[in-house]
Amino acid sequence: MTRSAVITGWAHSPFGKLDDPDSETLMARVVAPALAHAGVAADEVDGIFVGVMNNGFQKQDFQAALVALSEPGLAGKPAVRLEDACATGSAAIHAALNFIEAGRGKIALVVGAEKMTAKATAETGDILLGASYRKEEASVEGGFAGIFGRIAQNYFQRYGDRSEELARIAAKNHRNGAVNPLAQFQKDLGFDYCNTVSDKNPYVAHPLRRTDCALISDGAAALVLVAEDAASDAPRAIRFLATAHANDILPLSRRDPIAFDGARRAWIAALAEAGLSLNDLHLVETHDCFTIAELIEYEAMGLTAAGQGHIAVREGWTEKGGKLPVNPSGGLKSKGHPIGATGVSMHIMAAMQLMGEAGGMQIDGAERAGIFNMGGAAVANFCSILERAR
């Protein structure tokens, strides 16, 4: 089933340690440019959907009300804020789609942002632990990196040490990010650097090294959704062939922590809705908050069987010239991971590919793209499949 709204425009700030003091100024960077890119006036917007996790990154909250401060034409427009941990941006997109499909409006503005670098590293780590089950997991050493370190340990115990494959994933994503002008880290580090523990690449949460972990980032991204029957004059149109959202139980103690079952169910549902197989996709933007997450996601999406994700790495399947390029943007690992902006960014990166506007990141002949964005340790799992409508 093709969804009844299309992406008609977008804007994306650089990701990194930015001078912007808060999410309000970050969102102001992208709202007007996204509307202009879509050829939409602010007063034509019917609803605003904002994705910001916050959870203590800044004292000012009520994020949905901040968008109109930079664009007076948005004043009085219904605005709502979504939060679903690291999947916050995708939650905002899916809510905007539902708004249009329910007939509540024809045009929706989606904005995702996060200001993370103003806090000390230890405080940032504690804020991010809000996406874990604190009653059981708050004491894990290393914060969220420690949680994924435990996931990696469990995976290695069951399937063997895959540190080398994790380093190859990191090297791939840094190589891809080196040609992404919006990425926080635009340097090809190479496999040897990523595979070697050193003063510059120490263990963060064994067996994860610094190069196995996504960056702490500031940034914002925005896109415009228009009902397809109202988008005939739009400058571009990217349609949703499918969307899916599947949750898993929050505490890792109550599930198999390396199965990523919610991710698997989201992918199965999205591919079934689109009437496609994974072989019909030309690229995937997936949630590599840590390299172990990307490895397990290969298995969850059905690229390999459980425990066999290393085959995709070794055979080069997920490289830009492989059978299914994964994270040609550099992923969260290189592009950066400002929590609320991440899901919106992933959709924009895919849309750029489908429009043939991805520059050095471009995958030749890209017609369909998959996006997987998750909140927490594979708790909230969002999958989208996009195709260029014109």
Please write the tens of the pLDDT for every residue from 3-53.
689 999 999 999 999 999 999 999 999 999 999 999 999 999 999 999 999
End-to-end CA separation in angstroms for the chain: 18
- pTM over 0.95, yes/no: yes
Q: What is the pLDDT of residue 1?
A: 53
**DSSP code string of 184-246:** S------HHHHHS--SSS-EEETTEEGGGBPPP-BEEEEEEEEEGGG-TT-S--EEEEEEEEE
Give the H or E element holding residue 105. Answer: none
- In whole angstroms, what is the distance from residue 214 CA to residue 250 CA? 21
Instruction: From residue 65, give the alpha-carbon distance in Å to each of 5, 10, 45, 141, 347.
Output: 24, 20, 15, 36, 24
Question: Both tokens of residue 101?
Answer: 């499909």
8 Å CB contact between 326 and 286: yes
Q: What is the pLDDT of residue 222?
A: 99
| 3-state SS assignment for residue 353 | helix
Domain 5-119+216-230 in this protein, CATH class = alpha beta
Q: Which residue has the tokens 């914002």?
A: 220
Residues 295-306: tens digit of each pLDDT: 999 999 999 999
Q: Which residue has the tokens 């995976």?
A: 155
Phi then psi for residue 378, to 5 deg, are 60, 45
- The b/e string for 65-96 (b: 16+ C-beta within 10 A; e otherwise) is ebbbebbeebeebebebbbbbbbbbbbbbbbb
**Which residues are marked as active site?**
86, 337
Report the candidate in 11, 30, 10 with the shortest Cα–Cα distance to residue 20: 30
Q: What is the pLDDT of residue 390?
A: 87
- Which stretches in the chain have pLDDT values below 50? none
**Angular region, 218: left φ>0, alpha ψ -120 to 50, beta rest:** beta
Q: What is the pLDDT of residue 316?
A: 98
Q: How many Å is the maximal CA-CA distance in the chain? A: 57
Q: Which residue has the tokens 């008609």?
A: 8
- In whole angstroms, what is the distance from residue 293 CA to residue 311 CA? 15
Report the candidate in 123, 47, 55 with the shortest Cα–Cα distance to residue 340: 55
For the chain, domain boundaries: 5-119+216-230
Q: What is the pLDDT of residue 354?
A: 98
| 3-state SS assignment for residue 2 | coil
8 Å CB contact between 263 and 374: yes
**DSSP code string of 14-26:** PPBS-S--SHHHH
Q: Which residues contact 98 (CB under 8 A, 6 or more apart)?
A: none
Phi then psi for residue 14, to 5 deg, are -60, 150
Q: Are strands 368-375 and 283-285 parallel, antiparallel or unpaired?
A: parallel
Give the H or E element holding residue 1. Answer: none
Q: What is the pLDDT of residue 2?
A: 61
Q: What is the CA radius of gyration of the chain?
A: 19
